[in-house]
Structure 1
Amino acid sequence: MEQAPPDPERLLQPAPLEPLGNPDAGLESVVVEEADRPRDEGPGDGTMTENNFWLKKIEISVSEAEKRTGRNAMNMQETYTAYLIETRSVEHIDGQSVLTDSLWRRYSEFELLRNYLLVCYPHIVVPPLPEKRAEFVWHKLSADNMDPDFVERRRIGLENFLLRVASHPILCRDKIFYLFLTQEGNWKETVNETGFQLKADSRLKALNATFRVKNPDKRFTELKHYSDELQSVISHLLRVRARVADRLYGVYKVHGNYGRVFSEWSAIEKEMGDGLQSAGHHMDVYASSIDDILEDEEHYADQLKEYLFYAEALRAVCRKHELMQYDLEMAAQDLASKKQQCEELATGTVRTFSLKGMTTKLFGQETPEQREARIKVLEEQISEGEQQLKSKNLEGREFVKNAWADIERFKEQKNRDLKEALISYAVMQISMCKKGIQVWTNAKECFSKM
């Protein structure tokens, strides 16, 4: 029997933060880079102050998509789509507009922006980009990424991405995001100069941490399981929707046969001819209406796809926590090892097998001066290690606090968005059925007048 997916409300509700206690005891938190936390020190550090923060005072839109031809990094000719980002000021400073400009961006530049945000804000559920190539499509829908209808839906998705970032209380203040909207030339060079790629965690390291961490936080473990279940459920929903769309398309188009038959029949009837001809017209209208209906449906499918991709963003936060937890555990293990070495040197006893112990047996004991020097070095390393471990615990608590605050924000957004999308989809289906009833009601009236 298939198990029901976990309750989203239960999984996304953070448990109370417990005190970390002694660095040698509870390994409940992990390291976070100082640059990873949101700051408000000025535009030079990737964030923006209130004085130059304008993003809440402008309107952002991706108003146009254009097919272009150019040469890539390999000097090979390629065809791509560029998107026009327009920003319009809604407030004025000293009587002058703040932003009234527009610029073109490729999809790859949107990807670069999001990769930067993922690395620099690992505690945030970074909004996903729309799909680069169409997935979960029904058979009459083109999977070509240059198809005009697909490009239009992706344009809407890219605009939604920018609005998501601009409405986020932390991401909206980032200087690189601001320059993405305002600086057309040399923007790539500017973002690469931040060196964010050097802070990116390797997949191998993340996989290693997943399997080797000894004390994972149950909240993040449950969150990761929830994201897997969410992705699975939405994937199944999109597949079902694609199958329904295929069958619905066939049913509607078959009604066009009614129109053809009624029209042919009307040609041989004198008294019934007008009624049959009118009924055939209604059937033709009904058959052709499915194209617009399914085109509208794709927008609701895209809303579901956004949360399909959000599931990976949730897992990214969980992976970062696992990495930091693993680093913390390794630091604690190294500290414990140094303490044991210091104790063994001080007492002259070796409790565990070691290469140093074997060397001592083969080549003799160290002199007291050598032993004292080694003890002094170890004591300094132990002191540094304790401070480092304490700092990592405190920084890790800050990461957990910030991460769960953003997860709470995401949970409210998710519940609201998916509720609205599902209700709108149901309303659209009801409207579609009502139109079908109206068509058959009109046909009935035509038959009654014969």
Structure 2
Amino acid sequence: MMAQSGGLKPSVMLCDVTAPVADEASALMEICVAEAEKRNGRNTVNMQETFTVYLVETRPMDAVAEGRNPAPDSLWRRYSEFELLRNYLLVTYPYIVVPPLPEKRVRCYYYKQKNIHFVLVEKWRFSLKINVIISTGLWLIENLFYLCFWQEHGWKEVVYETGFQAKADSRLRALSATFRVRNPDKRFMEMKHYSDELQSHTSQLLRARVRVADRLYGVYKVHGNYGRVFSEWSAVEKEMGDGLQSAGHHMDAFAASIDDILEEEEHYADQLKEYLFYAEALRAVCRKHELTQFELEMASQDLVSKKQQHEEIATGIVRTFSFKGMTNKLFGQEAPEQREARLKLLEELIAEGEETVKEKTVECEEHVDRAWVDMQRFKEQKDKDLREALINYAVMQISMCKKGTQMWSNAKDCFLKM
């Protein structure tokens, strides 16, 4: 069960999943994954399985800012539960660039040196971007977001009761369909192109980083060989033995530091990798706009067609070729009763079409306005995150080079004393 803390706790309402849950001043919270744990259980088909659960801790940010350190509220969540929350947010808020989840299975250089649970926790600690969802404003209006992190049981049932899965299936089919918008929004076209470029450049940077890290690992292991050779050499030298052995110790310590360096590099690589996945989330928002615009254009085209049919029947003047027009010419005009019935039906369809066009227009305009605001927020956050990550990466490289220089300076002093 969830451990209760003495800190502020937002109120949650199971009956209304869209009502505001708390005001901004009191509901800001810090969310992190504290640890991971392997468990055994049975899945939906009653088969034994092993899975990982993550201990999620929440703490009020105002308490942290004031220097207080209250015990955090905590509960365990599976990866699939994070996926459920994100899928719900994707369907419910298609205009939001919903943060991607970190990778479910991680690969890094230091698996042999680190416990797998530690690696998973570190990955999630640095990669879980639920706090970014808070910055979008969803935390103010979305009760299910709070239920996921504050209520141990029952929150998934509330999610399923919203019927979002049917919308998700429909959305997936629509977004995977092939269509072409006649009047695309230039801003969204540019943003879609930008997301492609962001993904491409980030992929290239990550591939280059892997090659550099691989060579760096080899260089450090060479220094480990230096240390072994100097230590063995010192055993057969009387005058130079102490100097060689000391130099070997410096080399060994330098070579052993590669694990911590690669661990730190993985942290910065994760920050870059997040934006590799963010590019897909950004494209999804642009794609949703295209779909909304396409539906509006199809509804408008259908309305124009029905109005034209109504005019042709009412006036008897056929301006476009149609099978019905050819039939009337060959076999004569339809009876007045049939004509009136068709006119009445078209009038009803035109009224429905006008309402549909009106709804689609509002939906499209709202999506454009909200999506554009959130995409600008995303770009500002992206610039801040990437600038910070790249600066820290450069600082780490400078520090690493200084350590290498210092190690060789120490080795030089050892050689001078021989």
TM-score by length of 2: 0.88
Amino acid corresponding to residue 295 of structure 1 in structure 2? E
Aligned to 2:94: 122
Alpha-carbon distance in structure 2 between the residues aligned to 1:263 and 1:331:
81
Select 1:191's aligned residue among 134, 159, 163. 159
CA deviation profile, 1:163-220 (whole Å, cap 9, x unmatched): 2222322345311101001112122211111111122244442233x53322221211
Pairing of 1:339-378 with structure 2 (within 5 A): 339-361=307-329, 363-378=331-346
Give the stretch that moved more between structures: 231-240 or 68-77: 68-77
Identity across matched positions, percent = 66
Select 2:17's aligned residue among 43, 46, 54. 46
Cα 1:163–1:55 shift into 2, 3 Å: farther
**Runs of 4+ with >6 A deviation:** 52-55
Pairing of 1:337-416 with structure 2 (within 5 A): 337-361=305-329, 363-416=331-384
List gaps (5 residues or longer) in structure 2. 1-12, 64-69
Cα 1:44–1:402 shift into 2, 3 Å: farther
Aligned to 1:103: 75
Give the stretch that moved more between structures: 76-85 or 373-382: 373-382
Alpha-carbon distance in structure 2 between the residues aligned to 1:44 and 1:337:
44
Between the two proteins, the alignment pairs up a number of residues equal to 397
Pairing of 1:244-263 with structure 2 (within 5 A): 244-263=212-231
* SS of corresponding position for 1:212: coil
Alpha-carbon distance in structure 2 between the residues aligned to 1:348 and 1:194:
50
Amino acid corresponding to residue 73 of structure 1 in structure 2? T
Structure having greater relative contact order (Cα 8 Å, sep ≥ 6): 1
Pairing of 1:10-409 with structure 2 (within 5 A): 44-49=15-20, 51=22, 56-89=27-60, 101-134=73-106, 137=108, 140-142=109-111, 147-157=116-126, 160-200=128-168, 201-208=170-177, 210-361=178-329, 363-409=331-377
Amino acid corresponding to residue 351 of structure 1 in structure 2? R
Q: Contact (CA 8 Å) 1:70, 1:79: kept in 2 or not?
A: yes
Q: Contact (CA 8 Å) 2:26, 2:62: kept in 1 or not?
A: no
Alpha-carbon distance in structure 2 between the residues aligned to 1:89 and 1:287:
42
Alpha-carbon distance in structure 1 between the residues aligned to 2:26 and 2:189:
35
Q: CA deviation at 1:91?
A: 6.7
Q: Contact (CA 8 Å) 2:106, 2:120: kept in 1 or not?
A: no
Q: CA deviation at 1:84?
A: 0.8
Cα 1:253–1:59 shift into 2, 3 Å: same
Amino acid corresponding to residue 343 of structure 2 in structure 1? I
Give the stretch that moved more between structures: 178-187 or 193-202: 193-202
Alpha-carbon distance in structure 2 between the residues aligned to 1:43 and 1:185:
12
Amino acid corresponding to residue 283 of structure 1 in structure 2? M
Q: CA deviation at 1:344?
A: 0.9
Cα 1:259–1:83 shift into 2, 3 Å: same
What RMSD, in angstroms, separates the aligned Cα atoms of the two structures? 2.4
Cα 1:449–1:141 shift into 2, 3 Å: closer
Q: Contact (CA 8 Å) 1:130, 1:157: kept in 2 or not?
A: no
Q: Contact (CA 8 Å) 1:64, 1:155: kept in 2 or not?
A: no
List gaps (5 residues or longer) in structure 1. 1-41, 93-97
Alpha-carbon distance in structure 1 between the residues aligned to 2:289 and 2:201:
25
Q: Contact (CA 8 Å) 2:110, 2:262: kept in 1 or not?
A: no
* SS of corresponding position for 1:211: coil
Tell whether 2:389 aligns with 1:421.
yes
Q: CA deviation at 1:402?
A: 0.7
Amino acid corresponding to residue 147 of structure 1 in structure 2? I
Amino acid corresponding to residue 373 of structure 1 in structure 2? A
